[in-house]
């Protein structure tokens, strides 16, 4: 009978120590409640709590990588796209993360989804495609402000994909082709204008120097003589032979 009693006592002591002794890793903290009221944050290392009187909630302080599900977004220019992102955040205040919100992970995920739709909906499609860094910073700033009351620090937000439907992809391709055509025409027009300016300048010089005009005429005849044509017509402007007749 005595041995049985000792066995029961040792068993109760063992269970008491098992419930009382907790080991927290370096990246963990324990939020301790005393009779339902917040008491303190402990850890890392070995901590002891009083069973039935004190309760502990573990909190991981490492950076959490959360994948934001694909969201349907309508841009400011009324284009429907699907956007997904990834959010990097961590708990910096275990007390707030446990007391101020029921589930900080779910709350942060829902807030990230609504913020992503809200921010991207204020921009046009071209901005979504070309200015991701600025949009990432805007979403990260809003999330960080909203989650500060929960003891959460949002370190970074990255927009991963902006998916378009097939009709929009074809429209963008046509737009890009039209833009390339426009640039080609502008470059061609600028070249024609520069050539016209140079020809005008050359004409002014030739008018001032009749001898230069004669040399240019002779050079043109030399180029024509290399042609294999059987018949060559030599135009002879009178203003070129005028100076020769005067001499």
Instruction: Report pLDDT for 4.
Output: 72
> Cis ω on the peptide bond leading into residue 44 (within 30° of 0)?
yes
Q: Under CATH, which architecture does the 64-164 domain have?
A: 2-Layer Sandwich (3.30)
pTM above 0.85, yes or no: no
Instruction: Report pLDDT for 16.
Output: 75
Q: Which residue has the tokens 């140079």?
A: 198
Instruction: Report pLDDT for 150.
Output: 95
Q: Which of 1, 59, 70 is nearest to 31 (CA)?
A: 59
Q: Which residue has the tokens 């495609």?
A: 129
Instruction: Report pLDDT for 15.
Output: 78
What's the half-sphere exposure (Cβ side, CA atoms, 13 Å) at 79? 24
Q: What is the DSSP letter of 102?
A: S
- Averaged pLDDT in 10-residue chunks for the chain of 247 residues: 71 76 92 92 89 91 93 85 93 94 94 93 86 92 94 94 70 65 81 79 67 61 61 57 53
Strands 37-42 and 45-48, bridge-based pairing: unpaired
Instruction: Report pLDDT for 219.
Output: 65
Are residues 20 and 50 in contact, defined by beta-carbon separation less than 8 angstroms?
yes
Q: How far apart are CA 159 and CA 227, in angstroms?
A: 65
Q: Which two tokens stand for residue 88?
A: 């990097």
Task: Give the residue extent of every domain in the chain.
Answer: 18-60, 64-164, 177-224+236-242
Q: Which two tokens stand for residue 6?
A: 């000792």
């Amino acid at each position: 009978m005595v041995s049985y009693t000792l066995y029961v006592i040792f068993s109760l002591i063992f269970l008491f120590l098992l419930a009382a002794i907790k080991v927290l890793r370096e990246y963990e903290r324990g939020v301790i409640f005393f009779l339902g009221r917040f008491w303190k944050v402990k850890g890392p290392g070995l901590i002891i709590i009083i069973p039935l009187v004190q309760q502990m909630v573990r909190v991981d302080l490492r950076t959490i990588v959360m994948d934001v599900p694909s969201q349907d977004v309508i841009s400011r220019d009324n284009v429907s796209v699907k956007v997904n992102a990834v959010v990097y955040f961590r708990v910096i205040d275990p007390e707030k993360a446990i007391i101020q919100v029921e589930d900080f992970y779910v709350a942060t995920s829902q807030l990230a989804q609504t913020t992503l739709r809200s921010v991207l909906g204020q921009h046009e499609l071209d901005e979504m495609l070309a200015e991701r860094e600025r949009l990432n910073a805007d979403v990260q700033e809003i999330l960080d402000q909203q989650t500060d009351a929960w003891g959460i620090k949002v370190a970074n937000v990255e927009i991963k994909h902006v998916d378009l439907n097939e009709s929009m992809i074809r429209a963008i391709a046509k737009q890009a082709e039209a833009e390339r055509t426009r640039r080609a025409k502008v470059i061609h027009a600028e070249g024609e204008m520069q050539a016209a300016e140079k020809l005008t300048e050359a004409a002014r010089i030739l008018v001032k120097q009749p001898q230069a005009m004669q040399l240019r005429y002779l050079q043109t005849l030399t180029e024509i003589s290399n042609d294999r044509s059987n018949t060559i017509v030599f135009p002879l402007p009178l203003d070129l032979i005028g100076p020769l007749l005067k001499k």
